[in-house]
Amino acid sequence: MAIDPQIQAYFRRMVERYAGQPVPTNAVERRQRFAEVAAQSQAPDPEGMTVSDFSIPVAGASLPGKLFRPAGSDIPKLIVYFHGGGWVVGSPATHHTVTALLAADTGCAVASIDYRLAPEHPYPTPCDDAAAAVEWLAKSRAQLGVAPDFLAVAGDSAGGHLAAVAARVVNDAAGRHIVNAQLLIYPVAAPVLSTESYRAFAEGPGLTRDEMAWFWTQYIGEPSLALGADHDDPRVYLMASPPSYLPPSTVVVVAANDVLRDDGLAYADFLVRHDAAVITIEASGMTHGFARLQPEAPRAREWMRRAAQAFVGVFDDV
C-alpha cells in the first residue's frame, strides 16, 4: 500500500540528516537519538492548553508525569497515556505534541506517565509502573479536578501494550471496571515476529523487524524471546488467557504500512471474541510512528483526529 508522500518526505529528511553518523547501539544512545528526532516534530500546544507536573509514588521510585488540560472543560474526563518507544526509549517529552493534541481533540485531560525503562528496568517493572499509575490516578481524580466516574487509558506502540496491560491488571484486581475505555495506537501485542505484516514491512520505514526484536530482547530478555512461540503471561502476550474485566469499549488504530499492523488487528479480534465493543481503524498511507508525525503530515493529523472522535464516541457506551 502506498505511503503518504509527506511521510515519505519526512523519512528522507531523517536519512539525509543522519547520513554518515553511527547507528546507536545501546539504550542510552538510542534514547538520545530518539529524543533528538522527536524534538524536530514538536508543535506549539493548542491554544488554551495548560500543562502541569505531578509525581506518582511507587515501590522504590517516583514516576513523573504531565497533565494536559484543554481549554473549555471545567471537569474533563481523564485519559492516562503511555508513550511508545519499545519500553526502552521515549518519554512524555518525546510525545508532548501527541498528548497535547489528544487532549485538544477529545476535550479530555491527559496524564502522560514517565514509566521506568528497560533494560535498566526490564519486565515486569514497566507493567507494574503502568498499573500503579492507573491505580493512583483513579484514586486522585477528585484532587486533580477531573470527572470522578470515568477513566480511560491510551498509548502508542509499546505504550499501547502497557495501556492494555494496565487496564486488565487494574480491572481484574478491583473486580470491576475502573478503566472504562482504551485507545491503542499501533499497539504491540505479542513477541511473535513472524506475522504477514512483519514479513511485508521487515525493513520499515518507521520500525523494522530487527529493531522490534532488539526492543523485545531488552524488555523480556533474549532467552525468553522465542519467535513465533506462544506465551502464557497476558502481561507479555496480550491474548494469552481469557480476560475477566476488559474495558467495555476499545478503539484500536493500526498503520497500514507497519510491522505491528497485525499485532493490533489480532488484539482487536481477541477483544471482539471476548464480547468487548471494538472500533478498529486502519490508517491507510501511514507507517509506524505516525501519531508523532502529525505536524509533518496532514493525513497523519487527520487520522489521529478521526481516532480521537471515535474514542469520544464510545464514552457514552461505558
What pLDDT digit, counting tens, does each position of 26-48 carry?
999 999 999 999 999 999 999 99
- In the set 128, 129, 258, 262, the catalytic residue is 258
- In the set 91, 112, 157, 249, the catalytic residue is 157
Residue 194 bears catalytic tag: no
Reduced to 3 states, what is the DSSP secondary structure of residue 311?
helix
Per CATH, the number for 5-19+29-317 is 3.40.50.1820
Residue 249 bears catalytic tag: no
Using CA atoms, how far apart are residues 20 and 98, in angstroms rounded to an integer? 30
Residue 123 is predicted with a pLDDT of 94
Residue 163 is predicted with a pLDDT of 98
Q: Which residues are within 8 A (CB) of 280 and not within 5 positions of it... i.e. 6 or more apart? A: 251, 252, 253, 254, 264, 265, 268
Q: Is the pLDDT of residue 88 over 50?
A: yes
Residue carrying C-alpha cell 491510551 = 154
Q: How confident is the model at residue 221 (pLDDT cuts 50, 70, 90)?
A: confident
Residue 41 bears catalytic tag: no
Q: Is the pLDDT of residue 316 over 90?
A: no
- In the set 83, 95, 231, 288, the catalytic residue is 288
Closest to 198 (Cα-Cα) out of 288, 86, 89, 300: 288
Q: What is the pTM of this model?
A: 0.96
